[in-house]
Amino acid sequence: MSLQPIGIFDSGVGGTSIWKEIHKLLPHEETIYLADSKNAPYGEKSAEEILRLSIKNTEFLLNRGCKIIVVACNTATTNAIAYLRETYDVPFIGIEPAIKPAALNSKSKTIGVLATKGTLTSALFNTTSKNYSEGITLLDQDGEGLVPLIEAGKVDSIEVKALLMKYLTPMIEKGIDYLVLGCTHYPYLIPVIQDIVSDKVTIIDSGEAVAKQTKSILEKFNLSANNQRPKHKFYSNKSSEELKHFLMDYEVSVDFLNF
């Protein structure tokens, strides 16, 4: 048993899609969420810079007593999780584009991956995609420009639709039947994406899998909690208002913090 909080970080608001899955599966766990929105998008930064920011975020959460860290960001996971696991003493849960289920289930043998440049160019992504894409055509696309629009709350905007049309049309023309969302910001675009790709394409995101993995690791290390009134603290270093926008249905505290 450990009543200490679960620490979660992302480059911004996107990881709230993961927080929601964790909260649904583990309602008695306290959480601290860190949105490094001031430095978003991570996807356009160098591997060194993504690592430096991931270390800073991890130490912020560890200094507040977190018992486990969920890296709710594909870009940070694929560039930094190996180092974080080697360096710090707590368990780390990461998120990577879920190529495996898409490749296993695809009938057209053609799948799409929409992720950030930082994820698509990482060594970890390249290894995973090689391991699971034998006999599969894997079309990857950098979603440049989407994260800043989501950060600004423009989820349903004309700009988002135009970018998605540009990125997804070539994949549809090449016959994908699965689309893997490789960025935790993108689940907020699912209604728009589904409209563009039609119901012939199955969209896969890994939020639920991350929550299940978090539960199983907490159990394995005897770290689960049964807080009766768990608190949930959210911090943004850019705008608490923008972060709040994604948490409207939840009883949580959201604050600006200059870190």
Tell me which residues are annotated as active site: 73, 183
* Shortest distance in whole angstroms from residue 98 CB to ligand DGL: 12
Pick the closer one to ligand DGL by CB: 5 or 94: 94
* Shortest distance in whole angstroms from residue 189 CB to ligand DGL: 12
Question: Binding to ligand DGL (CB under 6 A): which residues in 87-106?
Answer: none
Quick check: 74 binds ligand DGL (CB under 6 A)? yes
Quick check: 184 binds ligand DGL (CB under 6 A)? yes
Question: Binding to ligand DGL (CB under 6 A): which residues in 111-150?
Answer: 116, 119, 147
Residue 84 CA to its chain's centroid (Å): 17
Quick check: 73 binds ligand DGL (CB under 6 A)? yes
- Beta carbons of 179 and 198 less than 8 angstroms apart: no
| Closest among 163, 219, 229, 218 to 196, alpha carbons compared | 163
**Residue choice 58, 75, 121, 240 for contact with ligand DGL (CB under 6 A):** 75
Question: Binding to ligand DGL (CB under 6 A): which residues in 15-54?
Answer: 40-43
Residue-wise burial string across 245-257, b where 16 or more C-beta atoms lie within 10 A, e elsewhere? ebbeeeebebeee
> Which two structure tokens, joined as six digits, stand for 91?
């368990």
Pick the closer one to ligand DGL by CB: 38 or 212: 38
Pick the closer one to ligand DGL by CB: 7 or 43: 43
* Shortest distance in whole angstroms from residue 75 CB to ligand DGL: 4
C-alpha distances in Å from residue 200, one per residue of 108, 163, 195, 203, 258: 11, 20, 11, 10, 45
Positions of E strands within the chain: 6-10, 31-35, 68-71, 92-93, 110-115, 137-142, 178-182, 202-204, 232-236, 253-256
Q: Report the distance separating Cα 233 and Cα 243, nearest Å.
A: 12
Span from 6-14, 99-107, 170-178, 204-212 in contact with ligand DGL (CB under 6 A): 6-14
Q: Which residues bind ligand DGL (CB under 6 A)?
A: 10-12, 14, 40-43, 73-75, 116, 119, 147, 183-185
